[in-house]
Amino acid sequence: MAATEAGEVIEGCRLPVLRRNQDNEDEWPLAEILSVKDISGKKLFYVHYIDFNKRLDEWVTHDRLDLKKIQFPKKEAKTPTKNGLSGSRPSSPEREVKRKVDIVSTVSLVPASLDTAQASVFPQNGSARRPLAVAAAQPGRKRKSSCLGTDEDSQDSSDGIPSAPRMTGSLVSDRSHDDIITRMKNIECIELGRHRLKPWYFSPYPQELTALPVLYLCEFCLKYVKSLKCLQRHLTKCNLRHPPGNEIYRKGTISFFEIDGRKNKTYSQNLCLLAKCFLDHKTLYYDTDPFLFYVMTEYDSKGFHIVGYFSKEKESTEDYNVACILTLPPYQRRGYGKLLIEFSYELSKVEGKTGTPEKPLSDLGLLSYRSYWSQTILEILMSLKSENGERPQITINEISEITSVKKEDVISTLQYLNLINYYKGQYILTLSEDIVEGHERAMLKRILRIDSKCMHFTPKDWSKRGKW
């Protein structure tokens, strides 16, 4: 390749770029040049590493490019649009699962088809470590794949099958992802209280603020300003020490506030702008009226500091109990994500509904929900006890009613855990010793839990409140 000058590197071309991996070793992954800019005579190149997480995209200098292996874009090549994806909207089973299932100990059996009939589990060597629950999916009905996704851009279904983008709700098909501008991180750094956050993705803050080295946010009202001096001036006037809205939960230092997207529009919009820095798929910024926002905070002597949040539609025809969900980076991997998810289901319990998050979830959201569903369902199954010498019985419907987890999520979780097997002409679910021991270890680490006695929440019937 004759390319030797930086001037020949154009937008759309691909070439290896030098970066440091997690082991602090040099590597040369293939990257696409998304943008080129000149600052004081020095060229910078915004690169997207192919098949790497988008949050690793960055501006690099000329010396990190391998110009000997440059691949120029072909004029006729076009990026497939998202409308090209096949698939259908996830659907719920139309008929309820009513067959009862026997509960006993574990046994190693041959995996069978995922179209399951009534299930039973038989004891191994006639002894049971503890009563272990099983449940069956609907016999003779082929289940459509249900797409998962929340905290941050995966469109994987619970079965690993991609599903088409949603056409309604807060996560409508996002055509803006075809725009080069929205593929590039535009905020260098955000100061929020005592934390400095490095955004992962594009967020539509005013363009005049994107050139600043640091964007300053009031951690209580989330107002954004251009300098520390402006923030200090704002703090002398800002009376908030917690999110606006009603505090509906408090236990220890953890509180949840319910914010109406119509009554507190400015706060809700600012929250969405902040969240977009860490949620690649999020498309809702300004039309916050149809949504409620549940902000989790941690209290100290200075006030209630935002940890994370989730939003939900006031009215959802598809039983979505979460639209977007995020734990801010300083609080991730500390159990707060599962606490947010658990709280969303506690709200559904009070409302007397089963719920499910909008799909697709983000990569971290997908992991969080799968983990939460697994722990919640196993907790139910392992707590069942036999009565009058009979094996305990439970159905998927009953698991769904107890946990408020929608039936298709219960079924997909059982499939994901590989609990469904076939034995002597019938479908059964088994809990192996590894599953049991792994669950017990996970629950020992899960210290943060929602205490339903600390909730002060009365659901509203939004269908009778006009346009909210």
How far apart (Å, rounded) are the C-alpha atoms in residues 333 and 335?
A: 6
Chain CA centroid to CA 3, Å? 42
358 is known as an active-site residue: yes
Choice among 32, 152, 358, 408 that is catalytic: 358
Residues 6+ apart with CB under 8 A from 260: 245, 292, 468
Structure tokens at 25: 């070793």
Q: Is 94 exposed, middle or buried (0-12, 13-18, 19+ CB in 10 A)?
A: exposed
279 phi, psi to nearest 5 deg: -125, 110
Pairing mode of beta strands 26-27, 19-20: antiparallel
In contact, 219 and 297? CB cutoff 8 Å: no
How far apart (Å, rounded) are the C-alpha atoms in residues 265 and 261?
A: 5
How far is the CA of 199 from the CAs of 80, 314, 427, 442, in angstroms? 27, 29, 47, 30
252 phi, psi to nearest 5 deg: 65, -125
* Residue 14 identity: R
How far is the CA of 411 from the CAs of 34, 35, 272, 389, in angstroms? 41, 45, 32, 28
124 phi, psi to nearest 5 deg: -100, 120
In contact, 16 and 28? CB cutoff 8 Å: yes
How far is the CA of 44 from the CAs of 10, 31, 58, 199, 387, in angstroms? 11, 14, 10, 19, 71
Strands, E, within 132-225: which ranges? 190-192, 195-197, 215-217, 224-225
- The catalytic residues are 358
